[in-house]
Amino acid sequence: MRLPVNRAILAIINSDPSSETSKREELRTMAFRMREIKRLLSARVEQENRRLEAEGIAPVLTASFQEQLVPEDGLEE
Protein backbone atom coordinates (compact mmCIF):
# COMPACT_ATOMS: atom_id res chain seq x y z
CA MET A 1 0.00 0.00 0.00
CA ARG A 2 1.31 3.42 -0.89
CA LEU A 3 0.50 6.48 1.07
CA PRO A 4 -1.74 9.00 -0.73
CA VAL A 5 0.97 11.62 -0.42
CA ASN A 6 3.24 9.53 -2.66
CA ARG A 7 0.59 9.64 -5.39
CA ALA A 8 0.31 13.43 -5.09
CA ILE A 9 4.08 13.88 -5.21
CA LEU A 10 4.40 11.64 -8.26
CA ALA A 11 1.60 13.53 -10.02
CA ILE A 12 3.45 16.79 -9.46
CA ILE A 13 6.73 15.31 -10.67
CA ASN A 14 5.22 13.87 -13.84
CA SER A 15 2.83 16.70 -14.72
CA ASP A 16 4.16 19.95 -16.14
CA PRO A 17 7.39 19.47 -18.13
CA SER A 18 8.23 23.16 -17.62
CA SER A 19 8.49 22.67 -13.85
CA GLU A 20 11.73 23.75 -12.31
CA THR A 21 14.31 20.97 -12.13
CA SER A 22 15.18 21.78 -8.54
CA LYS A 23 11.54 21.39 -7.43
CA ARG A 24 11.28 18.09 -9.26
CA GLU A 25 14.46 16.80 -7.65
CA GLU A 26 13.28 17.95 -4.23
CA LEU A 27 9.98 16.12 -4.67
CA ARG A 28 11.76 12.98 -5.85
CA THR A 29 13.97 13.14 -2.79
CA MET A 30 10.93 13.51 -0.54
CA ALA A 31 9.19 10.57 -2.22
CA PHE A 32 12.31 8.43 -1.82
CA ARG A 33 12.61 9.33 1.86
CA MET A 34 8.94 8.53 2.47
CA ARG A 35 9.31 5.12 0.81
CA GLU A 36 12.40 4.46 2.90
CA ILE A 37 10.59 5.42 6.11
CA LYS A 38 7.73 3.09 5.18
CA ARG A 39 10.20 0.27 4.48
CA LEU A 40 11.96 0.81 7.81
CA LEU A 41 8.66 0.91 9.71
CA SER A 42 7.56 -2.35 8.09
CA ALA A 43 10.84 -4.01 9.03
CA ARG A 44 10.47 -2.75 12.59
CA VAL A 45 6.93 -4.13 12.85
CA GLU A 46 8.13 -7.53 11.63
CA GLN A 47 10.94 -7.48 14.18
CA GLU A 48 8.55 -6.52 16.98
CA ASN A 49 6.08 -9.23 15.92
CA ARG A 50 8.82 -11.86 16.16
CA ARG A 51 9.68 -10.61 19.65
CA LEU A 52 6.04 -10.67 20.74
CA GLU A 53 5.52 -14.18 19.39
CA ALA A 54 8.63 -15.37 21.25
CA GLU A 55 7.09 -14.02 24.46
CA GLY A 56 3.75 -15.69 23.73
CA ILE A 57 1.94 -12.42 23.00
CA ALA A 58 -0.28 -11.96 19.94
CA PRO A 59 1.56 -10.06 17.19
CA VAL A 60 0.35 -6.77 15.72
CA LEU A 61 -1.79 -7.34 12.64
CA THR A 62 -0.27 -5.78 9.52
CA ALA A 63 -3.66 -4.54 8.31
CA SER A 64 -4.25 -2.82 11.63
CA PHE A 65 -0.86 -1.14 11.42
CA GLN A 66 -1.43 0.06 7.85
CA GLU A 67 -4.85 1.49 8.71
CA GLN A 68 -3.12 3.81 11.14
CA LEU A 69 -1.03 5.21 8.27
CA VAL A 70 -4.06 6.17 6.15
CA PRO A 71 -5.36 9.70 6.76
CA GLU A 72 -8.96 10.00 7.87
CA ASP A 73 -10.02 11.91 4.73
CA GLY A 74 -10.28 8.59 2.84
CA LEU A 75 -7.69 9.28 0.14
CA GLU A 76 -6.17 5.83 0.30
CA GLU A 77 -5.12 4.06 -2.89
Q: What is the pLDDT of residues 21-53, one digit of tens each?
A: 888 889 999 999 999 999 998 899 889 999 999
Show the DSSP H helices in 1-77 as ranges.
4-14, 21-54, 62-69
| Domains held by the chain: number | 1
pLDDT greater than 90 at residue 73:
no
Task: Give the residue from 5, 10, 12 showing the smallest Cα distance to 37.
Answer: 5
pLDDT of residue 1: 47
- Residue 76 resides in a domain: no
Q: Write out the residue range of the structural domain in which residue 35 sits.
A: 4-69
**Residue 75 covered by a domain:** no
Give the mean pLDDT of 47-65: 82
Q: If you average pLDDT over residues 1-29, what whole number do you get?
A: 71
The mean predicted confidence, pLDDT, of the chain is: 76
pLDDT of the residue at 56: 92
CB atoms within 10 A of CB 3: 20
